[in-house]
Structure 1
Amino acid sequence: MAFTQSKLNYAIEYSKAMANAYPYWSYFSDLYGSPNSATYKPVSGKAVAVQSMTTSGARAVNRDQITGTFNRNFNTSEQILTMRMDREWDTLADPMDIQEDPIVNIANITKTFNEFQKVPEMDAYAASTLATAATGFGGVDTTALTADNILTQWDTYLAYMVDQRIPRDRIRAKMTPDTYKLLKEAAGITRFVEADTGIRNIDRNVGKLDGVVIQEVPKDMMMSAYDFTEGWEAANNAKQINMLMFDPIAIAAPVVYETSMMSAPTAQSKGKWLYYERYYYDVFALNQRLPGIFVHLASAAALGTVNLQLSAGADSTHTIINGLAPAPYGMKYVAKTKTGSAESVTYGQALTGWTDVTNGSSFETAAGDTVTVALVNTTKGNTATAAGSAAAVVGA
């Protein structure tokens, strides 16, 4: 959002103390402070290389034989991430403004910037990035929440994450005040009344539920998309995030560069103080741990796009499928062919009767068919998160 300069008002007597109401602080400090944030940082340039490994399972021992044949039973893979949020901010401070206005000083200026711009921007970016990752993976629910059903839905979300081997005590939950209000009103939540001091203190806070730490986050910092052109504001197509559950170990949030400096008045700055700040950060979801991120959105998520390339198969009944990006852990590609138009796919639809495909798969088709390839979440019954279609290209 563009910033419009306004004249400093010297006529009003300001208090020496800052009067900015309700300053922000970080609601996602547990994310930016996670162990992964220090582990995964660019080695050179903007790229962050996240390596992972898989192994085969164990097998029964043969006590009576040694075959002498040993195989490599592990594979490694690499997820290349690119840092995106390289941000800067600067301001001039005229010595006369500092002299005439008691609150104009570098300490107050930078404090205001950090509390109302920098920190909430980083939190808004974290929320939207995690919502995007959960949407792409299929870890989304849009059931309308009420005081009657919120605990049932909570149990469903938690059961899903635990089923994916996410330790319950590592899960964190961020929710809007409206959602938090529903949780406090839910039947089954215990209230505490302290009467030992003679004053009946009623505590209705829900700071932890089933071992999961809960934190309220303002609604404006829980949107699915933001415009960061200048500062931060919700994008036109943004959806409200009602609840965000995540395992900090499933995420890397490196802050790789952060500096601030100030120059004294010079001829080049026309006698003004110059303050400059730069910070370089990002938030990444790790492909091998995507089940550790779950989001509740106020409205249905949009179906993503699968980019594919089709080429002629070995004969007149086959098409070769290529151009597919690597499928993250817990996901796979499936395909289906249809005469003429593409197969209809909606977000979250369970795709049954489709054929598993990978890059280079030879898929049975006929001339005039349309091939549809979908990316599905195997941990939730092959539910679709993205799809793409193209005309079949059969061989001679």
Structure 2
Amino acid sequence: MAINYVDKYGKELDQKLVFGTYTNELETPNLLWLDAKTFKIQTITTTGLKAHTRNKGYNEGSASNTNKSYTIDFDRDVEFFVDVMDVDETGQALSAANVTKEFNSRHAGPEMDAYRFSKLATVAKTNSNSVAEEITKDNVFTKLKAAIRKVKKYGTQNLVMYVSPDVMAALELSDDFVRAINVQNIGPSSIETRITAIDGTRIVEVEAEDRFYDTFDFTDGYKPAAGAKKLNFLLVNKGSVVGGTKHASIYLHAPGSVGQGDGWLYQYRVYHDIFVLDQQKDGVIASTEV
């Protein structure tokens, strides 16, 4: 008998996957799915105002509605076989719940971030919104401000800027800030110097640097592709992107049920992808190391 863990524990598995990623907020809620892999986005376009002539009445304009279908291409799967004695002898450490938790936190979630970061960086480069540059404590504030200035029109509340640990460190040491740190607590104290926002734009540090490159090799898991560059930062207007995730299945097959030995067979499959809308393609800006 096979247990579909998506049906039985779907909400809990989604939470574990979401909490382990930086890019979960870029997902689009309530997508209009056409089938298992395709969703549709409606785009409304109107003409603008014209000068009013009192003896002529209203100027004629036009409004159009177009539907564009997006097909998820990133289809991933894996399976694990664990002998029943391995499960027993490890004190249930290799149980379905533990295997799934480990896989989500170390592989599925990180790979999802890597794919999304790299795809958005690639689109930014295609749209001439990417630059290779050196960022230091002397120029970091100016560089980030200049990038934010380009997309402020979308509303800073809709912007998120992902930055590398090196960029965050440079920002913390920037001479453009004047700060005073007073530690008055008696006993254990902590000092927090991270910059969390600039001009209303939220700053998110991507501490897991292995996910923050412009291109990846996804042949077996994920790793930076040959010639890949580290990202300095990736600035995203959330209204410019549309993304969806579909868990097709997470199955647990009991020993003897699939004819593959005396053990448990775990199968995991996931669809996900992210796209940049044509009308707001300038809302994704990337910066890479030289």
Q: Could you list the runs of 5+ residues in structure 2 that have no partner in the other structure?
A: 1-18
Instruction: State how far apart, in whole Å, the 1-side matches of 2:136 and 2:160 are.
Output: 21
2:273 is equivalent to residue 274 of structure 1 = no
2:35 is equivalent to residue 44 of structure 1 = yes
Match of 1:287 among 274, 278, 287: 278
Letter of the 1:212 partner, please give it: T
Letter of the 2:193 partner, please give it: R
Q: Matches of residues 368-379 of structure 1 in structure 2 within 5 Å?
A: none
More helix by share: 2
Instruction: State how far apart, in whole Å, the 2-side matches of 1:283 and 1:271 are.
Output: 40
Secondary structure of 2:172's aligned partner: helix
* Superposed CA RMSD: 2.2
- Which one has a bigger Cα radius of gyration? 1
CA offset at residue 202 of structure 1?
Answer: 3.6
Counterpart residue number, 2:7: none
TM-score (norm 1): 0.63
Cα shift readout 1:143-186 (whole Å, capped 9, x = no counterpart): 32110111111121111112xx2211211011111111111110
Secondary structure of 1:281's aligned partner: strand
Counterpart residue number, 1:82: 71
Q: Does structure 1 conserve the Cα–Cα contact (< 8 Å) formed by 2:47 and 2:61?
A: no
Q: Does structure 1 conserve the Cα–Cα contact (< 8 Å) formed by 2:214 and 2:231?
A: yes
Counterpart residue number, 1:191: 179
Q: CA, structure 1 residues 262+192, in 2 after alignment: closer, same or farther (shift >3 Å)?
A: farther
2:251 is equivalent to residue 256 of structure 1 = no
Counterpart residue number, 2:13: none
Q: Matches of residues 61-72 of structure 1 in structure 2 within 5 Å?
A: 61-66=52-57, 71=60
Counterpart residue number, 2:167: 179
Counterpart residue number, 1:118: 108
Q: CA, structure 1 residues 279+201, in 2 after alignment: closer, same or farther (shift >3 Å)?
A: closer
Cα shift readout 1:72-112 (whole Å, capped 9, x = no counterpart): 51234444422111111211111111122233322222211
Letter of the 1:189 partner, please give it: F
Counterpart residue number, 1:26: 21
2:205 is equivalent to residue 210 of structure 1 = no
Letter of the 2:203 partner, please give it: I
Instruction: State how far apart, in whole Å, the 2-side matches of 1:233 and 1:197 are.
Output: 44
Instruction: State how far apart, in whole Å, the 1-side matches of 2:280 and 2:33 are.
Output: 20
Counterpart residue number, 1:142: 132
Higher relative contact order (CA 8 A, sep 6+): 2
Counterpart residue number, 1:97: 86
Query: Size of the alignment, in residue pairs?
Result: 268
Percentage identity across paired residues of the two chains: 26
Secondary structure of 2:246's aligned partner: strand
TM-score (norm 2): 0.84
Letter of the 2:204 partner, please give it: Q
Q: Could you list the runs of 5+ residues in structure 1 that have no partner in the other structure?
A: 1-23, 300-396
CA offset at residue 66 of structure 1?
Answer: 4.0
Q: CA, structure 1 residues 45+110, in 2 after alignment: closer, same or farther (shift >3 Å)?
A: closer
Secondary structure of 1:38's aligned partner: coil
Secondary structure of 1:203's aligned partner: coil
Q: Does structure 2 conserve the Cα–Cα contact (< 8 Å) formed by 1:141 and 1:296?
A: yes
